[in-house]
């Protein structure tokens, strides 16, 4: 990863997590890490069922010295990734990790802050027990759905196009 990509993802994490904590309306703990890969910063909170939930942003693809034209794609994950459990352990030893649902969104860095209200609504819809989610995303997804399932792996159109273009060119 280039130093510029590291700087961008660090800044986006800081800003997104801070805004997410404000918008959620429940206590959110942000654990910061200076590493861009092995132990990412996360934001975690406890839901009504007393389960520990977490959201984290990590790099899916990034330019580097060998491939400077590689696209820069991020993943925003909710409750996905076994390695995160160790990061959240210090947050709430007595809380059970929420393994009932997950969500992962692959997107461009410039799209992530636009998704903040949408992600908060998604989390709150799940908390209320809704099984689908119909709010229009701020950037179109690759797949057209009338109701988005509350679990899954989704890509924005632009992220999918950049990843596909990279595969075709190589």
What's the pLDDT score for residue 143? 73
User: Which are the contacts of 16, defined by CB distance < 8 A and separation ≥ 6?
Assistant: 57, 76, 112, 113, 116
Q: 29-62: per-residue pLDDT in tens?
A: 999 875 555 667 899 999 988 999 999 999 999 9
Q: Taking residues 10-35, report their average pLDDT.
A: 91
To 5 degrees, how large is the angle CA 109–CA 112–CA 118?
A: 165
> Where residue 19 falls among pLDDT bands split at 50, 70, 90?
very high
What's the pLDDT score for residue 42? 95
What's the pLDDT score for residue 148? 57
Q: Give bridge partners of residue 170 from the DSSP assignment.
A: none
What's the pLDDT score for residue 142? 84
Measure the CA–CA gap between 139 and 121, rounded to whole angstroms.
15
Is 24 or 130 the better-scoring residue by pLDDT?
A: 24
What's the pLDDT score for residue 32? 82
Residue 165, both tokens: 């273009």
Nearest to 137 by CA among 146, 126, 124: 146
Measure the CA–CA gap between 31 and 80, rounded to whole angstroms.
16
What's the pLDDT score for residue 43? 96
Note the pTM of the prediction, 2 decimals: 0.85
Q: What residues does each domain of the chain span? A: 3-169
What's the pLDDT score for residue 129? 78
Q: 133-168: per-residue pLDDT in tens?
A: 768 899 999 875 555 555 678 999 999 999 887 655
DSSP one-letter code for 38: S
CA 105, chain centre distance (Å): 6
What's the pLDDT score for residue 128? 82
Q: 63-104: per-residue pLDDT in tens?
A: 998 998 899 999 999 998 755 555 545 455 556 888 878 899
pLDDT at 170 exceeding the cut of 70:
no
82 burial class (0-12, 13-18, 19+ CB within 10 angstroms)?
exposed
């Amino acid at each position: 990863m280039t130093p510029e990509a590291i700087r961008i993802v660090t800044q986006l994490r800081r800003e997104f997590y801070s805004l997410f904590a404000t918008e959620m309306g429940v206590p959110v703990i942000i654990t910061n890490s200076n590493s861009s890969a092995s132990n990412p910063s996360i934001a975690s909170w406890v839901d009504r069922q007393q389960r520990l939930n977490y959201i984290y942003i990590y790099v899916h693809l990034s330019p580097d010295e060998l491939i400077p034209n590689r696209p820069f794609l991020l993943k925003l994950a909710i409750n996905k990734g076994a390695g995160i459990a160790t990061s959240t352990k210090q947050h709430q030893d007595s809380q059970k990790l929420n393994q009932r649902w997950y969500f992962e969104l692959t997107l461009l860095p410039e799209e992530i802050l636009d998704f903040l209200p949408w992600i908060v609504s998604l989390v709150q819809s799940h908390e209320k027990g809704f099984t689908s989610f119909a709010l229009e995303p701020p950037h179109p997804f690759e797949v057209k759905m009338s109701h988005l399932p509350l679990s899954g792996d989704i890509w924005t159109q632009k992220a999918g196009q950049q990843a596909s273009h990279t595969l075709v060119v190589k």
